[in-house]
Chains A and B, each alone.
Chain A
């Protein structure tokens, strides 16, 4: 059996809006994800997908329950240690790209390595260039985000998420702002990464087409898991070429 990258038991997240009003975003979720899995999280709007992703990514803390990432229990960590985990173990890809404006593609990619602190500048440059080439952006290193299309910006964000060799990639609706063509492009990159490097990828999507690139589908409803099933690869839909 493959080892667990993510181990969640009875995870609860409650937002206390006021003394009387509270929102139960996650109502006791249990989920394990093994190393190398490619998972899609689906579900209606407001069902708690982003809430889960933020907790998985150490951006937010849960109310109760247990969450262990790659053998580390986040509950005992201080802010600095969490920052370090975000830096080294997790690569984020957001719906809104979240690149630093007026900063070149190359520097955006380098940024997590800079925060790691032990980076050797030449090695950092080399690796950032290599990653940009891998996502098909060779020659665009010095372009700023405002001169890149949405799809290109998202590919820069993917390169950025990879520079510190994280254990998992967390992508919250990475194709949400993209058209079908760019969305396919991004999903092909994810698929290739998953297959070639064995990196664990968890992504949130509303689109079944996007989910079809993954191997496992977890469906949320009202803060609970409704369905958790492998995706049938046997029957690719006509007209779509699988990578």
Chain B
């Protein structure tokens, strides 16, 4: 029998048991939908993380030294010695400070920096302005707030010119940063108070040394070379003998990016793996129903054989039925999966990334499920002896 007729025969016999066919496909529908969804979410998450890390600045790096400290003369010497450094800022940090304004209170963290900090972070202002060099020199009690403080303490009203208390010391607000969102780690990046490092040394930390330095280079290609230069500069400065480990840490966005990519990729694969188990369960559902169908239709098979159907005709008929079930389930699953994925991206605010590749793979895979799980029942049908099939009650 030719393919077109086989196809028509298969579709018709599926149509006879619409409810059963629909329920049989359900397993594959759910399987394919969840695979499509998981792969999509995994991709979107990766893109979202990438963007987040790039807002930190793709040509930025941070130097952290917990045990030994840096001074401003270290920063200046480093800038002079390494020409590929474009911006460099000290970071006088303190966490768990109380920020108060008119009875509202919030725990936040302080970053005492110079104006290069904003350029390294590529962080635009929502209100007000950055510091002036004069203000840094004269240790003015001024702050630029992260967006969370604006929302929590000022009810989203322009806070420029207002005076607030930080660890019970009054500070004047001169600016407010644009929203940046959560970091990949889940930390709220917008809950921070930025002030001149000079002020932070005097009013907050009480010492003129610090543990962190932010650096940016002129472009992404220079990052690696600059990292090496910074490393050897500090080692030399501290007189570390060759072979001894660093007593400081340099973190680049590239490393963070790789880490984040690795995590999200592993996560996406894990999710897709779990989802594909449901596809297999769906396949077993198809096999089960096809076996029932073969024994119900033994007589029909006998009639077909009596009038000249070959083994291969019967095999193909049932195989096509199984593949029709699984591939139509796959198609519906793809549509549902894309729909749910789209809804989630809209809800979370991620990009919707349509991947033709994953749709095609999902469809082919659902066909393969039909072939794989339909083969045994179809084989069983085609191996019936004509006379036994015909006599079957």
Contacts and interface: CB of A to CB of B under 8 A. Distances in A.
A14 to B, nearest CB: 15
Interface in A70-123: 79-80, 83-84, 86-88, 92, 98-100, 102-103, 111-112, 114-117
Interface string B1-35: 11001000000100010000000000000000000
Interface range on chain A (Cβ under 8 Å from partner): 20 to 34
B311 interface: yes
B390 A112 contact: no
B387 A54 contact: yes
B311 A117 contact: no
Dominant secondary structure at the B interface = helix
B390 A98 contact: yes
Given A60-B387, A117-B2, A88 B308 contact: yes
A203 to B, nearest CB: 16
Nearest to B6: A114
A116 B305 CA distance: 12
A100 B310 CA distance: 17
Nearest to B5: A114
Contacts, number: 64
Contacts of A88: 308
Dominant secondary structure at the A interface = helix
A87 B300 contact: no
B351 interface: no
B311 to A, nearest CB: 6
A114 B100 CA distance: 86
Given A59-B386, A98-B390, A114-B5, A160 B310 contact: no
Contacts of A223: none
Contacts of B302: 98
B313 interface: yes
A115 B302 CA distance: 14
A87 B308 contact: yes
B165 interface: no
B77 interface: no
Given A102-B16, A115-B313, A117-B2, A59 B307 contact: no
Contacts of A164: 308
Interface string B369-393: 0000000000000000111001000
B182 to A, nearest CB: 60
Given A114-B5, A115-B1, A80 B311 contact: yes
A151 to B, nearest CB: 19
Max chain A Cβ within 10 angstroms of own Cβ: one of B2, B306, B390: B306
Contacts of B313: 115
B309 interface: yes
Contact of A117 (B1, B12, B305, B306): B1
Nearest to A103: B12
A98 B16 contact: no
Max chain B Cβ within 10 angstroms of own Cβ: one of A88, A111, A112: A111
20 contacts: A59-B305, A59-B386, A60-B387, A79-B310, A79-B311, A80-B312, A83-B305, A83-B309, A83-B310, A84-B308, A86-B305, A87-B307, A98-B299, A98-B302, A98-B303, A100-B300, A100-B303, A102-B12, A112-B307, A114-B1
Given A59-B305, A60-B387, A100-B303, 13 more contacts: A59-B386, A60-B385, A83-B305, A83-B308, A86-B305, A86-B308, A87-B309, A98-B302, A98-B303, A98-B390, A100-B300, A115-B304, A117-B2
Interface of B: 1-2, 5, 12, 16, 299-300, 302-313, 385-387, 390
